[in-house]
Amino acid sequence: MTEKCGEVVIRDAVLTDVERIREIYDHYVRYTAISFEYETPTREEMRERMHRTMARFPYLVAERDGVVQGYAYAGPFKERAAYDWCCELSIYLAQDARKCGMGRRLYAAMEERLRDMGVLNLYACITCPDREDEYVTRNSMEFHSHLGFRQVAEFRREEGRLLPENLDYNAIGGLRLEARQKLSEIRPLSLGQAGRISGVSPADLAVLMIWLEQNGC
């Protein structure tokens, strides 16, 4: 299926798009906290993710002048059968393809495809900080609100997660120097307390949460 939107073509992704898709995603892993990944997946890992998604859900790309400039895909919101009519959406755009209507066109095509599949409810689980920084902004919240999504919940349960008393913040890669110094000095008892320390950004909290998860804390 191909849908022309002015100079942009929306089409189904194919596995040979993997290198360009990985290139777009790499920016979000390296320079933002929204992906919750430390390292960009390898070409093989990204190809396997695409293959797994495409077996069941739409995976679309937006091309301009023959070059993929963005992509979006759907996935299960929950695994149990009663959620079969719900999907979670993800979208990533090249940095020079933002704020030009390409994301809206991708989502419009995605919604049409999912509607044809009988999907009734669409969800987007996004990062939305209380305060913005260079790693996390409210852009995604504003984008989805503009398209008619409404906020139904906030994932706040991690605020009560306890931090080990002897946690060595200097050993956690990805934390900014200021955050390491403040956390080592104040020694917060939980993630919620850490988030209220001046100098600890949402991106630092994301790094800390991932480290705790990976180390079974």
pLDDT at 161 over 90: no
Token pair of 130, please? 């209380």
Token pair of 198, please? 């001046």
Residue with the bigger pLDDT between 125 and 149: it is 149
Min mean pLDDT across 77-81, 128-132, 192-196 is at 77-81
- Provide the pLDDT for residue 69: 96
Min mean pLDDT across 16-30, 82-96, 135-149, 187-201 is at 187-201
H-helix segments, 10-132: 18-31, 43-54, 102-116
Identify which of 192, 193, 169 has the alpha carbon closest to the alpha carbon of residue 179.
169
- Mean pLDDT for 71-90 is 86
Min mean pLDDT across 10-19, 76-85, 107-116 is at 76-85
CB 136 within 8 A of CB 34: yes
Q: How confident is the model at residue 79 (pLDDT cuts 50, 70, 90)?
A: low
What residues does 8 pair with on adjacent strands?
Answer: 5, 64
- Provide the pLDDT for residue 1: 45
Strand ranges, E, within 113-174: 121-123
Residue with the bigger pLDDT between 217 and 31: it is 31
Percent of the chain predicted with pLDDT > 90: 45
H-helix segments, 67-158: 102-116, 139-146
Q: How confident is the model at residue 4 (pLDDT cuts 50, 70, 90)?
A: very low
Q: How many other C-beta atoms are found inside a 10 Å radius of the C-beta of residue 22?
A: 19
pLDDT at 6 over 60: no
pTM: 0.70
Identify which of 118, 8, 22, 20 has the alpha carbon closest to the alpha carbon of residue 64.
8
Min mean pLDDT across 32-41, 67-76, 180-189, 200-209 is at 200-209
- Mean pLDDT for 148-152 is 83
